[in-house]
Amino acid sequence: MVYINASDPDGDLDQIFCGVEFQAGVDHPYPISITRIKPDQGKNLSGYLHLGTPEPDRPMNLIFTLQVRDKAGHFSAPVSFEVNMFDQSRKKERVGQESPPLGVFQDKDLGPIMIALTTQVG
């Protein structure tokens, strides 16, 4: 889950753009995923996008980028962050997703991130 907070003074938030900027060992670009924001969001958007993730056979490290656009075509500043995934069966201690800070994000599903991650690198 990728948690997001966004606001727009005009209340016309339109789309969320997500992309994988870099994945260690992968030399091809991923397509951008665009998630439409429902019109009833108002001036403030809070919730999470969900990304289907494979269980890799070795650690996967990637840099993920997210931007929000309003109906006038204005983009937010891009936000980038690192994502690390591990093969759970080979770890003595289970590694899970870190929970977001309490009271900061709504527990609302904003939609999927339509990117199929590559597990085989080389």
The answer to whether residue 9 sits within a structural domain is yes
Which residues constitute the domain of residue 26? Answer: 2-113
Q: What is the pLDDT of residues 31-68, one digit of tens each?
A: 999 999 988 777 899 999 998 877 767 778 889 999 99
For 7, counting Cβ atoms within 10 Å of its Cβ (0-12 exposed, 13-18 middle, 19+ buried), the class is middle
By three-state DSSP, how is residue 88 classified? helix
Q: What is the pLDDT of residues 3-31, one digit of tens each?
A: 999 999 989 999 999 999 888 888 888 99
The answer to whether residue 121 sits within a structural domain is no
CATH code: domain of residue 104:
2.60.40
Write out the two tokens for 16: 């969320």
Q: How far is the CA of 122 from the CAs of 13, 61, 117, in angstroms?
A: 39, 13, 14
